Structure 1
Amino acid sequence: MTTEKTDQTATSDPRHTPQGAFEALRRGNSRFMAEESAHPRQDGARRELMTTGQRPFAVVLACSDSRVPVEIIFDQGLGDIFVIRTAGEITDLSVLASLEFAVVGLGVPLVVVLGHENCGAVNAAQNALETGELPSGFQRVLVEKVTPSLLAARAEGGDTAEDFERHHVVEIAAHIVDRSPQILSRLREGTVGVVGMRYRLSDGMTEPVVNYGLDVPGTPGQPLN
């Protein structure tokens, strides 16, 4: 897969730094929460520009839940965010490959793991732990992938759905950093940041819960191994 390039002014765009990208998402989410979305970069000129390639400033691994439309809740436009969605934002080799393509192939400076309130995958894993009942078919994979996060949360005293959702984001972010040498090397260089967030369906806020290589109030930076 080859690198696609577009918009030569992007090299001087502050969004194309790890901190600048995070701040752009934060501002967009604030607009969304205030019902003042700008719907930027969605006109005909932008569509035409996107035919020549892409240079997104963030890659977001989000849950597939229909209530969490990534570009809308961050108030971003065409070509701004490279989105990967799986139920429970779980990872596999194809997800890790897609994340590395965004970071290495497209030069994305920010990796976001986005969980959310009332996550069905987390709820299913919690139910399995409490009742011993597993879903049928391939849905069982979701429980198997999410359960370790819940067990880790319980080991730290967590016992609510919010505790489990937040800790699952923390575990997925750590998994990405641990499993991807290419992302880890760019974290060490300071050219990439990683942030885990939880979207609140109730008020529309994306609250940071963990970060690597960023300045995010309320979430201490995690050390790199």
Structure 2
Amino acid sequence: MNSDSVAGAPRSAESQPARRSLLRGALTGAAALGAGLTVGASPATAAPKSRPRPATPGEALRELAAGNARWRTFREKHPDETRTVRQELVTGQHPFALVLGCIDSRVPPELVFDQGLGDLMTVRSAGEVLDEAVLGSVAYGVLELDIPLVLVLGHQSCGAVRAAVEAEESGERLPAHIQYIADQISPVIDHTKEGDARIDATIDANVRLVSSRLAAEPDLAAKVASGDLAIVGARYELTNQLVHRIA
């Protein structure tokens, strides 16, 4: 990310022991049920930190920025893929950032940020659209694994945004569940612009909308207020592979 993208960020909030114990108990039970399907599997809860990890929102942002710089200059390190790391991750995980991105095949977060196993938790939906499953996934990463950064990552030429804009302009309904995605994006369609400029502006507006909705979630808002969490909107440019912050 460039210098105006991922600067300054907050730090961590209060836990909710009862609810967290309940969730961890449920996860442990689920792991026990699935033990017969895998060899040597363990619950994917937080693990001891044997490797140095970004521990604050600011550190996490800087690490993502550095990784994106490597990616777009073809100097990737492909970190955290060794035998040792794979063995460490058997007992748990401690990702330092959660990336909520689009399903677009051209924007895989682990590649875009040159990160490896156990580094990022990724949640992907068309147009970064929120529903209960997405919200629950983000909440799990933040509240259960103490991830200090949520990055909402939009991208240039987003097909979901284009579909929403074109559906509104034509008045036609989209098939099956795709209309739900369009309905979530339509409130921020930028009517001050036309054509491709409207789509491009709406991509940014949608990132801001999703970021603000996440920041309004009470549990996440408490973590932001305490300085334990930053929720940041950003955008990936397909033309030059740069990730930059969207204010």
Kindly indicate whether structure 1 or structure 2 has the higher relative contact order, using CA contacts under 8 Å at least 6 residues apart.
2
Is 1:203 matched up with 2:240? Answer: yes
- What is the rounded CA distance, in whole Å, between the counterparts of 1:4 and 1:129 in structure 2? 43
Correspondence for 1:5: 46
CA contact (8 A) 1:41 1:78 kept: yes
> Which amino acid in 2 is paired with 1:122?
V
CA contact (8 A) 2:57 2:228 kept: yes
Cα offset for 1:158?
4.7
- How many equivalent residue pairs? 203
- What is the rounded CA distance, in whole Å, between the counterparts of 2:72 and 2:118 in structure 1? 22
Cα offset for 1:149?
1.9
Correspondence for 1:85: 124
**Would you identify which runs of 4 or more consecutive aligned residues in structure 1 move more than 3 Å?**
none
Give TM-score, length-normalised by structure 2. 0.79
Give TM-score, length-normalised by structure 1. 0.86
Correspondence for 1:191: 228
Correspondence for 2:202: 164
User: Deviations along 1:62-103, whole A, 9 cap, x unmatched?
Assistant: 101111111000000100000001111100111111111100
Unaligned stretches of 5+ residues in structure 1 = 211-225
CA contact (8 A) 2:49 2:94 kept: no
- What is the rounded CA distance, in whole Å, between the counterparts of 1:145 and 1:114 in structure 2? 16
Is 1:98 matched up with 2:176? Answer: no
Within-5 A mapping of 1:21-100: 21-100=60-139
When Rg is computed on C-alpha atoms for both structures, the one with the higher figure is 2
Of the three residues 177, 183, 190, the one matched with 2:215 is 177
Cα offset for 1:38?
0.6
The 1:144–1:6 alpha-carbon spacing in structure 2 relative to 1, beyond 3 Å, is same
CA contact (8 A) 2:102 2:124 kept: yes
CA RMSD of aligned residues (A): 1.4
Unaligned stretches of 5+ residues in structure 2 = 1-22, 25-43
- What is the rounded CA distance, in whole Å, between the counterparts of 2:46 and 2:202 in structure 1? 39
Q: Percent identity?
A: 33
